[in-house]
Amino acid sequence: MNPTCSRCNRIVYPTEKVNCLDKYWHKGCFSCEVCKMTLSMKNYKGFEKRPYCNAHYPQTRFTIVADTPENLRLQKQSKLQSQVLYKEDFEKNKGKGFSQIADTPELQRMKKTQEQISNIKYHEEFEKKKMGGEAPPQQPSNPSQGIPLAIVSSPEEHLWQPSGADCACFPQKRYRAVYDYTAADEDEVSFMDGDVIVEVQQIDEGWMYGRVERTGQQGMLPANYVEAI
């Protein structure tokens, strides 16, 4: 005897039967409890024997009673994925003096400024030795002779007035959260709907790394929970 569908209570024939969460469903009836999006065995999430999509899966703190085999399987899979990403990042940055995440556009600008200041001090010392230390070097009337004008400019100009070319080379990526998210691992970050995520770096199609502007916390976050601003 053919069973009945858990959604519409009609008979389910073998050609259209889905057996999941200890129940039987029509393929078209196996959908999210909230948005009614049709699900498959690859993208569903079960909670209290009801199917949900990834975006509307109930956010709960698992207790000993709620730690079902399905939840334990998802937790183990997430942990294994995090370990793989950490290992790949470690191998890419092995032997470097700094990590890829710490090498921000701001750090690059500061390094460039320090190099310019070092060049200025070097030429000032050279001119003082050349003139016998009696007077500071005079700025040449013709930029093509002696020290270039860009070198004798003050350090404050380089520190507080970066050129437009420097700013245009390093655009800041900003995203806005469209759902609430609670971190499942120590390397992830929690946020609320509407939070702005800055300093975002893409890890793969499903995950990215960024900092929550409201809390200042940073870590990994799912890419389908945010949208570009």
Contact 88, 207 (CB under 8 A): no
| 131 belongs to a structural domain | no
Of the two residues 168 and 203, the one the predictor is more confident about is 203
| 38 belongs to a structural domain | yes
38 secondary structure, DSSP code: B
Contact 157, 166 (CB under 8 A): no
| 120 belongs to a structural domain | no
Provide the CATH number for the domain around residue 199. Answer: 2.30.30.40
pLDDT in tens, 23-50: 998 998 999 999 988 898 889 999 888 9
The predicted pLDDT at position 144 comes to 45
Contact 24, 12 (CB under 8 A): yes
The answer to whether residue 133 scores a pLDDT higher than 60 is no
Domain boundaries, position 8: 1-61
The domain boundary residue, chosen from 44, 61, 78: 61
C-alpha to C-alpha distance for 184 and 66, rounded to whole angstroms: 15
Output the DSSP codes for 146-205.
Answer: SS-HHHHS-HHHHHH---HHHHHHSPPPEEEESS-B--SSTTB--B-TT-EEEEEEE-SS
Question: Which residues fall within 8 angstroms of residue 79, CB to CB, at 6 or more apart?
Answer: 185
| 107 belongs to a structural domain | no
pLDDT in tens, 51-98: 999 889 887 665 555 667 787 888 887 877 777 777 777 777 666 554
| DSSP SS3 for 30 | coil
| DSSP SS3 for 50 | strand
| 16 belongs to a structural domain | yes
- The total of structural domains in the chain comes to 2
Report the residue count for the chain: 229
DSSP H or E stretch at residue 210: strand 207-212
The predicted pLDDT at position 102 comes to 57
What type of residue sits at position 46?
G
The domain boundary residue, chosen from 39, 61, 83: 61
| 126 belongs to a structural domain | no
| 187 belongs to a structural domain | yes
Provide the CATH number for the domain around residue 46. Answer: 2.10.110.10
φ and ψ at residue 46, rounded to 5 degrees: -95, 140
* pTM given for the model: 0.28
Contact 216, 210 (CB under 8 A): no
